[in-house]
Amino acid sequence: MFESVSLVAFPVVIGWAVDDLLNDSGAGVLKLGGLCLVLLFVGAARRFYDTRAYAHIYRTVADEVVAEERRRQSPLSTTSARVSLFREFIEFLEESIPALLNEFIGLFGTLAIIALIDLRVFFACLGAAGFTTGVYWLSGGRIFRLNQGMNDETEKQVAVLESGDRATVQHHFGLLAHWQIRLSDLETGNYSVIWLALSAVVIYTIIAVATSATATMGQVIAAVMYVFGFVEAILAFPLYYAQLIRLREIAGRLAAPFSGK
């Protein structure tokens, strides 16, 4: 949480440093350096702890998954695939959840500060955020089905490789590539549409803030940085959303043996 709030404050502190330097003062630079050191220590400590905690979770639960699949006499191919899929689940918890939390805090903090700087830019950002949400909400079902098809094929991989038949192996990897390409094409289409809206927000922000009669140079720089931060967050959220849909599909597979399905 502290790390996320500190990141939100970064553009403001950079703005202070610029204004202080223009006024022949180094106080803002010292504040910026202090913030950098705080983020270094807090970020390193969090990563040090997270790696050990999630490694323990993976070791414990993966063993339970294997034991349950053996009890059910599942094919080795299915067991191997599900252990790998569970590793993907853990990696999301370890790497993506903290980043997603940072993005959420950063997004709301960024929007609050943008509202203080210029309400016109704030409402432009809200419009872009709503547009992005609509695009990915409409894509959710298709993302799930494409991941389902790819995971179905992944569970066959060990059996396919054991068959030793080259044509079967080629067909298998061809299907995996097919599912991956369809997912990528869907993401590319969504990204392209969203990028047009976000580009318009960036251009509008530069015009609106830079031509303001009351803004200092530091405030202009901070405003533009916050809007860029907003754009980065908006572009990142759809990727997390797609990951969550994929993990929902994976969770259903992993839960099936324990639920007796």
d(CA 65, CA 257): 8
Closest listed residue to residue 239, CA positions, set 90, 139, 127, 149: 139
**Structural domain boundaries in the chain:** 2-259
- pLDDT tens digit string along 242-259? 888 887 887 777 665 555
Structural contact between residues 118 and 219, judged by C-beta atoms closer than 8 angstroms: no
Which of 14-18, 109-113, 168-172, 192-196 comes out lowest in average pLDDT?
14-18
Task: Pick 67 or 121 by higher pLDDT.
Answer: 121
d(CA 102, CA 84): 27
Question: Does 86 score more than 80 pLDDT?
Answer: no
Arithmetic mean of pLDDT, 84-89:
73
Q: Quick one: pLDDT at residue 37?
A: 79
Closest listed residue to residue 234, CA positions, set 135, 117, 87, 159: 135
- Tell me which fold the domain 2-259 belongs to: ABC transporter transmembrane region fold (1.20.1560)
∠ CA 47-52-58, rounded to 5° = 120
Closest listed residue to residue 238, CA positions, set 180, 178, 195, 182: 195
Tell me how far apart the terminal alpha carbons of the chain are, to the nearest angstrom.
Answer: 39
d(CA 236, CA 246): 16
d(CA 141, CA 210): 42
- pLDDT tens digit string along 95-115? 777 777 777 777 887 888 888
Tokens of 231: 């754009």
Which of 82-96, 224-238, 242-256 comes out lowest in average pLDDT?
82-96
- Type of residue numbered 136: Y
- pLDDT tens digit string along 182-201? 988 998 888 888 888 888 88
Closest listed residue to residue 242, CA positions, set 195, 185, 201: 185
- pLDDT tens digit string along 140-163? 889 999 988 988 888 888 788 888
Arithmetic mean of pLDDT, 226-238:
82
Burial 245-261 (b: 16+ CB within 10 A, else e): bbbebbeebbeebeeee
What's the pTM value of the predicted model, to 2 decimals?
Answer: 0.60
What letter would DSSP give residue 156?
T
Percent of the chain with pLDDT over 90: 7
Q: Quick one: pLDDT at residue 10?
A: 67
